[in-house]
Amino acid sequence: MGRIIKPDDFWMFAIVAEPLGVLAAGFLAKGKWKPVAAIYVIMLGAYFIHPFGQMLPLWTIVDIPIALILIYPAARIGKSIYKNNLPRLTLASVLIFFVGTVSDSLTRVFLLVPARFYEFFGWPFEALYGAFILGAIQSFAEDGLAIIMAILIGVPLIVALRKVPAFEYPLT
């Protein structure tokens, strides 16, 4: 029987996952795709090598391979953040927000399965399976919200920051 899990138990995921998502977004905004691709390949590879990663339903992490495919285009278009082309800025923001958000999810999946945090929680496979189903629904909602926020908040914020002389590109 696993131990009772409290919401406070999940702080350990945020310490690593959220900064890694921000790091991925920063790399993509600078046009650097290789470090982000390396993170994805290593973490996703470790997930699929783990026996539970082979047993859990693929649909629960379908956003991760999609983000992996979008890393290179996000980095190529990501440089558009610093130009005055609004349609390219919008596309770049959406791609960067999406890949950054999914990087957070990938890190949480990596910590839970290959890093074996499920053992820390005392979860048998059945509990992990249930967590993945519920987590997938939340993750897909978060992905959609990231896309909406990229358009509604991200783009206007970047446009406003462009008017501040201290934020002129190239950033130093």
Is 54 a member of any domain?
yes
DSSP 152: I
Is 1 a member of any domain?
no
Looking at the structure of the chain, the number of domains it has is 1
Is 154 a member of any domain?
yes
Q: Does the pTM exceed 0.85?
A: yes
* 64, amino acid identity: I
pLDDT for res 79: 78
Where are any strands of DSSP class E within 36-136? Answer: none
Give the residue numbers spanning the domain of 119.
7-167
172 — pLDDT class (breaks 50, 70, 90): very low
* 99, amino acid identity: V
Is 172 a member of any domain?
no
User: How confident is the model over 60-107, as pLDDT tens digits?
Assistant: 999 999 999 999 999 999 877 777 788 888 999 999 999 999 999 999
**Token pair of 172, please?**
């130093």
Is 67 a member of any domain?
yes
Is 34 a member of any domain?
yes
Closest CA to 87 of 161, 163, 160, 155: 155
Is 2 a member of any domain?
no
